[in-house]
Each structure stands twice: as C-alpha cells, then as structure tokens.
Amino acid sequence: MNVSQVKFYMIYNIYHLHCGTMCPVCAPLFGQRGLKANIICHCLLVETDRGLVLIDTGLGIQDYLHTKKRLGAVLNRFGAIKSDLTLTAIAQIQQLGFKPSDVKHILVSHLDFDHAGGISDFPNATIHILSNEFNAAQKISALNKLRYRPKQFKNHRYWNFLELEKGENWFNFSRVQGLNIFADEILLIPLLGHTEGHCGIAIKRENGWLFFCGDAYYSHLELDPSNKLPILERTEKILAANNSQRMKSLADIQALAANQSNIEIICAHDPKDLSRFLT
C-alpha cells in the first residue's frame, strides 16, 4: 500500500451543536444561580471518512412544531422550551454546509426526550445504543413517563444494539463498547445510573480524547468532588434510575478528570461547557 494513501486519522472535525434550550423556574435544582435555569442540549457532530456521526440529537423538528402532542402537557407548560427551529441538529448541520443524508450514524447517551428528539429527523441513520437502554424505554413507570417519549424513536428502522456484558477496558472504565467501523476511535462508555443503559461517548483526537458524558452529571463543578452541591445532587438522585450506580459513574468520571489531563470531559446540559467551544 502506498504510504501516502494511509489515513492515520479518520476523524476530520468535531462540531459542537446547541440543540435545545429549556429555562424552567428551577435554577438551583441544576446547580445554577438565580430563578430561571438555563438548561441547554449540547450535542456533537463528528465528521469522519464514514460520513457524519451525530452524538445525541437534542430536540427535533416535531418537538418544536407539536410540543404538547409530542412531549406532553406537563413539559409543554412547565418546561419553558425555547421554540426555535434553528436549534435543531438538522438545521445546524445544513448551516454547516452538509446534507441531512450525510448523517450515517447516531450515538445516543440515552433516550430521554431531550437527547433523542432529533432521531426522527434522520430516518436513514443507524442508531448505536446499549440494548438495556432501549429495553428500559419500553417499561412503564412514573419516572419513565417523565423521561421517555417513544414517539421520537419508535418508528426508526436502523438500530445497532450493543450488549453491556461484553466490552474492553478504557482507563478506569470497564465494559467499554468499541465500534469497529470507526477503528475503535469512537467508544461507548457505560455510565449507568441516570438511566438503566446510560452511556458516555469518547472520541479520539490527535492529542487525546473528548469524553461526552451525557447526563452522568449536570454541572462542570461536579468534576471536582470537593465542590458540594446538595440541591443539585438531590435533583440527580430523584432523576436517577439507580442512584448508587449514578454515584459510582460520577466517581469514575471524577477520577478520570483528576488523573488524565489529556482527556477533555463535558456533559450535555452545562451552558458553560458549550460556551467554551462556541466562542
């Protein structure tokens, strides 16, 4: 093989997308000051030689056009969702000069309504997800009725279910799911607790890794265990499917942050995390 034809890095670019904003009257519950929270949906778009890869989808077109029908009366009334179609992933992908059909793969941290809403905007993409997360979304419970909106994904045709029992090690994490189609440079990292099949996504960069942790935590302040945020911790406990697992996942993330300076760690809803990449 001609050395000039070898691709040492198949990931060309990583774009940070702002795919939804909610401003309910509950700022302290999310570790923020003031009255109204600023809860954003931070997603990633990865440009690769296998097409575009979307990491989480935020809210989709139908979530904005038919909010009450799609998300329910409670979220429609109290979620304080900013109605703005330019915040959809599909609109931002087009703004970047790509076509929606260029999105070949979607990796979702979990299927909560504010992470999976855009799935229906990309009907031909393959969704990569832990199988136990998909199974959890089929269960009926009070918490699941709050978090999952099956209309967002139930008619999607293309899925790749990954099994939690299998996997390799990645730093201090186990049962990590590598994706051969990406030469194991994009990984699903189990971060259980917030939901039964919640995971993070690690993306290899030339100088280290970018680790997207979804809802494993809500504020960048939590990366330092010395920061005490009792109200936020209570919120995370209430929203957790398994709080002991959630706390272990967070402790593992904190250990990674303390010991691996070449790994950039971000979560899905912290506006300060997003602002670092958009300014």
Average pLDDT over residues 47-51: 91
Place of tokens 């070449």: 262
pLDDT of 1 reads 28
Helix (H) or strand (E) holding 71: helix 67-71
pLDDT of 78 reads 85
DSSP per-residue codes, 198-255: -EEEEEEETTEEEEE-TTS-S-GGGGSTT---HHHHHHHHHH-SSHHHHHHHHHHHHH
pLDDT digits (tens, 9 = 90+) for 168-207: 999 999 999 988 888 889 999 999 999 999 999 999 998 8
Residue 74's pLDDT band, with cuts at 50, 70 and 90, is confident
Higher pLDDT, 77 or 155: 155
Least confident residue range of 128-137, 178-187, 192-201, 224-233: 178-187
> pTM of this prediction?
0.93
pLDDT of 166 reads 79
Average pLDDT over residues 74-78: 84
Average pLDDT over residues 40-63: 96
Q: What percent of the chain has pLDDT over 70?
A: 96
For the purposes of burial, counting CB atoms within 10 Å of the CB of 64, is it exposed (0-12), middle (13-18) or buried (19 or more)?
A: buried
Please determine, for residue 2, whether its predicted confidence score (pLDDT) is greater than 50: no
Please determine, for residue 5, whether its predicted confidence score (pLDDT) is greater than 60: no
Mean pLDDT of the chain: 92
Average pLDDT over residues 1-22: 71
Average pLDDT over residues 164-169: 86
Of 8-22, 26-40, 120-134, 177-191, which has the strongest mean pLDDT? 120-134
pLDDT of 279 reads 66
CATH fold, domain 10-278, is Metallo-beta-lactamase; Chain A (3.60.15)
Query: Is residue 25 helix, strand or coil?
Result: coil
Gap between the Cα atoms of 229 and 63, Å rounded: 32
